[in-house]
Structure formats: structure tokens, C-alpha cells
Amino acid sequence: MSRIGYEKVRTGCLTCKKRKVKCDESKPTCLKCRKSGKECAGYITAPVGSISWSRLLSSGHSRSEERSLDLFRDVVGPALLGPVASSSWTATMFQLSRQENGPARDAILSISLLFESSSSSNAAVPGSPSPPERQQRAAVLYYNRALRHVATEQHDARMVLCLSVMFITIELLRYNPRAAFEHCRHALHILQGSDTNGDIFKIVLAIFRHLSVFPSFIGTTLSDYHLVPENETITYHGFKHIFEASEAMDSLMSRSARLVREFDLFRQGPLATSMPTTSLLTSWHYLRQDLNAWYSGLSAVRRRPRVLVVAEEQSLYRILELRWLLCDIWVDKVLFPEETRYDAYRGHFERIRDLAKEEADTIVLCGSSDESSLPAEKGLAPILHFAALKCRFLKLRLEILVLLQRMVSNGEAMWDSATMEAVGRRIIGLEHGIETNSEQSIDSLLESCLMEDPVVPSEEQRVENFYLEDDTHMSPLPSGPKMQRRPVHFVFGRSSQGPRIKVKDWIILPA
């Protein structure tokens, strides 16, 4: 008997059955129906006492393992499906998990246990047979066994890439982004020497393109990662549905992030006195065109009449526009070395605030956060962190910092929320000359702001960049509790051709 609340109906949802099309059988509603704008009529409820196919086909696996595999197929897989993947991702991974004593099966079991051990997932899937701590320990054991399989056995490129996706998923669910990106870097190296025409390679390529943007938000430079192979079939206009726009945006973000890194050599590196090369300026021109075309394409899809408006689709529209706003600032700013250039994007920062507020309000209205999804899927925290650092209009940047706190509490904690907030507080204090401390809420700072923005900081007052040291020091605050002091180096802007100034400072983190 199923132990997770419902059984998968192999004939698919009632809508697909009536239309005589193959159903992807996603839960709780069919993904194919959502993509086509059809209202999913749901699945036939399994009769009491029915036996799942996985249980009938099992060959001696323990009941707990079969339950975890069932859970992955019916709950975890669909929950992990985001805008970068498709239903075939779950189907492929689950098919590999049925192999006897293989690394894929161990990895799937680890993912399922980690997912269920989270507080939000346990609430969504009642009746967990083991406490979260025991599930997490078991998940690590399965993960280590899968890693040993990979280290001691030979696998083809297709299997290794699938396993890489699983290992990335495990590390993201463990909130260990650095390890996840190491798996991503290894897989990108394999992708460069592989034929990327197969379906699994296209799925994996889309996922890696999505993940490759985020190393810059955890202190890792993009130069440490292989360039994601570009899919020549991607178009940046004329989208049939929002999922095509999502795939194109992942490509644009990857291109934008790498373009920023290449321009940095001419703005801050050893070539700071040289002009960018003609080929780099040409790349900038084509990227600028593609960004404009993409926004027009998204707007056209958004205006299209809908039979059924799905809440998660509206959320995806907001997320995609937020990513476009970030890329638009990145790409335009590379031509201007001055930090004061960011003042020209006040409209962008206001739109980022408004979209993030809509997303946060929607989460509260729905009564649940999205903690069950992969932490890297939305990636709202790094976007808001960037906006809070680069927007120098005090009231607006504090509003964005408040929204960052709200989004972090709703499943975006992967990006080290405490450090994000501490860096934001310290930079705001330095640039605006106001005293902030970890015990004073951002809301109270916001309430003390004047209705009119004060004068924005000068170029010399602005923090251009910062570098965190790894070691921390415990020290008591005057009020009593111990806090962590983490060293940070701030790089201030310069006027004319004066030298940049580097200052060592500290941020305060909770113990």
C-alpha cells in the first residue's frame, strides 16, 4: 500500500486521457496541462488497499527504501521541477534509480530523505516513519555510498552527468552551495567534451546554465568555472510559452555574468588603462540586442489571453523579470567604471522592490513558503542583495534590504542570509554615515528615514567591492551575548584617476 497519500495513475490525468495525449503525470497537477493552458482535471484516486507498482515490482528492497523511492516519484521529483527542468528530468532520474545497487538509486534515496527531513516537507508529507535527524544521517550514508560508486567504477558520460545533477541537488538541499558548484564545475568539464545533442544532455545543460550564474554570489569567481556551452537553438523572441522564455533567460544570465567578468579586466585589472577589444564590444552589442528582444518576447507572452491563470506561473513571470532587470543593469554598467552610474538605474531598483514585494506578499497569501523547492531555483536573495548594495537612495535600499530578510525566511537561506544582511548593514553605515548594529532592526532604520532621500554618497564614499575572510572571532557585545566578528576588506571607488582605497573592517554575525 502506498505510504505517501496517493498513488500514481499510469494512464495520466483525466484531461490528457480525454485529449488522447501522453501525460507527464506530474503532481499535484499535470505539467503538460499547465504549459498548454488547459485546466488539469486531476487523477483518479487509488482505491483503499491498492498496491503501488513500485512495491509489486520491487525485488527485496526494504519497505523504507521503497517508500523513499515512491516519495521521490510522486512528491519530491515534481517539487524539484523548476523553470529549468522538464518532466523528463524526473522520469530519467527515477528510471536510473530502479537499477539494482547503483549510485543513482543511492543518490535518489538521499535526495528523498533530505527533502522529507526539512520542516516544511515533513508538514507536507505527514506520517514520516523516522525523525528528521535520523533521516539526515541516513541521507548522508546513501550519498557517501553513491560517491564511492563513482570513485571506484567506470560510467559513461550520460550517467556521470545525471549523477552530477543528483549530487548538486543533494548539496543544495544540505545548504552547501560551494560543494554543489564543485560538482557543477566537474560536470561542465565533461559537457565540453561530450555530444550535447541528446535529450539528457540538453536537460543537464539547461540546469548547469542556470546554476553557473550563482558562484559570483558566494565569493567564487566565474573564471573558476568552465564556460557553459551555448545552445544554438535558443531564441530570444517569439516564445510559445513562458518555459521557453525561462530557458532563454538562463542563457542570457550566463552570458551577462561572464561579460561582466571579461570587462572587469579593462576596468579594474592589469588592462585598466586599455580599451576593450573589438570582439568584446561586439559581444556586448549582440547581448544588448538579445536582452531587448527577450523582454519584448516575454511581454508578448504575458499579454496573451489565458484560459487558466496559475499562481506559480505568475510567480515565474515576476522572477524572470527580476533576472532581466539584473542583467540589464549588469550589461549597461560595464561601459561605465564609475559607481555613481548606478544612480541612473533608480527605476530598475524601484521595479525590483515592487516585484519582490509582490512575490513576498503572494507567498504569505498562499500560507506557505517555497522551502520544498531547490534553494537555487528562484535565486531572489542574490538579486535583492545586489540591489541593496548598489542602490544608493537610502530609503529605497533599506526597503530592498527588508524584502531580502523576508525572502530569506521563505526558503532562500542558501545564500548565507546572516552574512548578506551584515554586509549590507555595514556598507549602508559606511556610505551614509549612520551607525547600525545587529540588534537594531532594518524596519526601525527605515522608519527613521526622512521622506525625501538625503544626498547620495560621492564616488569616493562608495564601496565598489568587498572581500570576506574565512576566519571569525568570538567577542561579547556590550549588552551581553557573544557575537562573531568576521574580517572584511572594503574597496572604495576613486575620483578621476586616483588610487582605490582598501580598508579592513569587520561585520557582526550571530554566534
Q: Is the pLDDT of residue 286 over 80?
A: yes
User: pLDDT tens digits, residue range 233-265?
Assistant: 678 888 988 888 888 888 888 888 888 888 887
- Residue 184 · residue 374 · CB < 8 Å: no
**483525466: which residue's cell?**
14
Q: Is the pLDDT of residue 6 over 70?
A: no
- Residue 294 · residue 324 · CB < 8 Å: yes
For residues 38 and 372, what is the distance between their CA atoms, to the nearest angstrom?
25
| Backbone angle region of 416, left / alpha / beta, with phi > 0 → left and psi within -120 to 50 → alpha | left
User: pLDDT tens digits, residue range 140-177?
Assistant: 999 999 999 888 888 888 888 888 888 988 887 887 77
**Residue 282 grid cell:** 561586439
User: pLDDT tens digits, residue range 217-231?
Assistant: 554 444 455 555 555
Residues in the chain: 511
CA 80 from centroid of its chain's CA atoms = 12
Amino acid identity, position 424: G
Collect all residues with Cβ–Cβ distance below 8 Å to 79 and sequence separation of at least 6: 115, 372, 373
Max intra-chain CA distance, the chain: 78
Q: Is the pLDDT of residue 130 over 70?
A: no
Tell me which residue of 464, 478, 458, 473 sits closest to 511, measured CA to CA. 473
- What would the DSSP string read from start to end of 399-453? HHHHHHHHHHTTT-GGGTHHHHHHHHHHHHHHHHT----TTS-HHHHHHTS-SS-
How many CB atoms sit inside 10 A of residue 241's CB? 14
Q: Is the pLDDT of residue 426 over 80?
A: yes
Mean pLDDT across 63-91: 72
User: What does the mean pLDDT of the chain come to?
Assistant: 76
